[in-house]
Structure 1
Amino acid sequence: MASILTNSSAMSALQTLRSINNSMETTQDRISTGMRVGAAKDNAAYWSIATTMRSDNQALAAASDALGLGAAKVDTAYAGMSAAIEVVKEIKAKLTTASEAGVDKVKVQEEITQLQEQLKSIGAGATFNGENWLAGGSATETVVTGFTRYDDSGTSKVKVTTANYDASTNSLFGAVDANGDVDDSTGILTDVMQISLTAADDVTSIATHLDNVETALTSMQTAGSQLGSMSKRISLQEDFAAKLSDALDKGIGRLVDADMNEESTRLKAMQTQQQLAIQSLSIANSNSQNILSLFR
Structure 2
Amino acid sequence: MAFSINTNTAALAALQTLRETNADLTATSNAVSSGKKVNSAADDPAVYVIAQKMNSQISGLSAVSSGLSTGAQVVSTANSALTSIGSVLTQLKTLVSEGQSASIDPTTINSQISNLLSNIDSYAKNATFSGVNLISGNTGGSVTSNQLKLITSADASQSITVGRANSATTDAMNATSAGLGLANLSTTSSGVTFTGLGAIGTGGSVTLANSVTTGTSATPSQSWTFTLATTGAGTVDTVTQDAVKNVTGISHAVTVVPASGQSAQDALVAAMKSAGFSVSLTQNATTAADVDLHVAGNDVVTTGASATPAANGTAVTGSAWTGSDAALANVDAAINKLGAMSVTLGAQQNQITSLQSYQSTLSDALTTGVGALTDADLSEESAKLTSLQTKQQLAIQSLSMANSQSQSILSLFR
Which TM bucket (shorter chain)?
0.7 to 0.9
SS state of the match for residue 6, structure 1?
coil
> Any gaps of 5 or more consecutive residues in structure 2?
166-170, 189-321
Q: 370, 385, 389: which is aligned to 1:267?
A: 385
**Does the 8 Å CA contact 2:100/2:187 hold for their aligned counterparts?**
no
TM-score, with length taken from structure 1: 0.82
> What are the equivalent positions in structure 2 for 1:83-232 lying under 5 Å apart?
83-99=84-100, 102-103=103-104, 105=106, 108-109=109-110, 111-137=112-138, 138=143, 141-145=146-150, 147-148=152-153, 157-163=155-161, 165-166=163-164, 168-173=171-176, 186-188=178-180, 190-191=181-182, 193-197=183-187, 205-232=323-350
Q: Distance in 1 between matches of 2:4 and 2:336?
A: 106
1:76 aligns with 2:60: no
| Identity %, equivalent residues | 35
What number of residue pairs does the alignment pair up? Answer: 271
Q: Distance in 2 between matches of 1:252 and 1:272?
A: 32
**Does the 8 Å CA contact 2:187/2:327 hold for their aligned counterparts?**
no
Q: Distance in 2 between matches of 1:143 and 1:160?
A: 14
Deviation (angstroms), 1:277: 1.0
Q: 371, 378, 388: which is aligned to 1:253?
A: 371
Q: Does the C-alpha gap of structure 1 residues 257 and 158 become closer, same or farther in structure 2, counting only changes over 3 Å?
A: farther
**Does the 8 Å CA contact 2:133/2:146 hold for their aligned counterparts?**
no
1:21 aligns with 2:19: no
The residue type equivalent to 2:12 in the other structure is M
**Does the 8 Å CA contact 1:63/1:160 hold for their aligned counterparts?**
no
The answer for the alignment partner of 2:361 in structure 1 is 243
Q: Distance in 1 between matches of 2:329 and 2:91?
A: 14
Deviation (angstroms), 1:288: 1.7
Deviation (angstroms), 1:163: 2.7
Q: Does the C-alpha gap of structure 1 residues 158 and 53 become closer, same or farther in structure 2, counting only changes over 3 Å?
A: farther
Q: Distance in 2 between matches of 1:78 and 1:227?
A: 7
Q: Does the C-alpha gap of structure 1 residues 239 and 55 become closer, same or farther in structure 2, counting only changes over 3 Å?
A: same
**Does the 8 Å CA contact 1:36/1:256 hold for their aligned counterparts?**
yes
SS state of the match for residue 42, structure 1?
coil
Q: Distance in 2 between matches of 1:6 and 1:170?
A: 90
CA deviations over 1:196-233 (Å, ceiling 9, x no partner): 349xxxxx633222100000111110011101111110
Which deviates more from structure 2 when the two are superposed, residues 228-237 or residues 89-98? 89-98
The answer for the alignment partner of 1:53 in structure 2 is 54
**Does the 8 Å CA contact 1:67/1:145 hold for their aligned counterparts?**
yes
CA deviations over 1:104-136 (Å, ceiling 9, x no partner): 555544543442232122122112233333224
Deviation (angstroms), 1:158: 4.7
The answer for the alignment partner of 1:30 in structure 2 is 31
**Does the 8 Å CA contact 1:145/1:234 hold for their aligned counterparts?**
no
Q: Does the C-alpha gap of structure 1 residues 142 and 7 become closer, same or farther in structure 2, counting only changes over 3 Å?
A: same
The answer for the alignment partner of 1:2 in structure 2 is 3
CA deviations over 1:20-41 (Å, ceiling 9, x no partner): 1111111112222222112222
Q: Distance in 2 between matches of 1:215 and 1:93?
A: 15
The residue type equivalent to 2:135 in the other structure is L
Deviation (angstroms), 1:75: 2.0
Q: Distance in 2 between matches of 1:235 and 1:295?
A: 91
Deviation (angstroms), 1:295: 2.4
Q: Distance in 2 between matches of 1:66 and 1:227?
A: 17
The structure that is helix-richer by fraction is: 1
The residue type equivalent to 2:163 in the other structure is Y
Q: Does the C-alpha gap of structure 1 residues 59 and 69 become closer, same or farther in structure 2, counting only changes over 3 Å?
A: same
RMSD: 2.4
The structure that is strand-richer by fraction is: 2
Q: Distance in 2 between matches of 1:147 and 1:134?
A: 23
Q: Distance in 2 between matches of 1:8 and 1:25?
A: 26
The residue type equivalent to 1:47 in the other structure is Y
Q: Distance in 1 between matches of 2:70 and 2:56?
A: 22
Q: More relative contact order in 1 or in 2 (CA 8 Å, sep 6+)?
A: 1
Which deviates more from structure 2 when the two are superposed, residues 93-102 or residues 37-46? 93-102
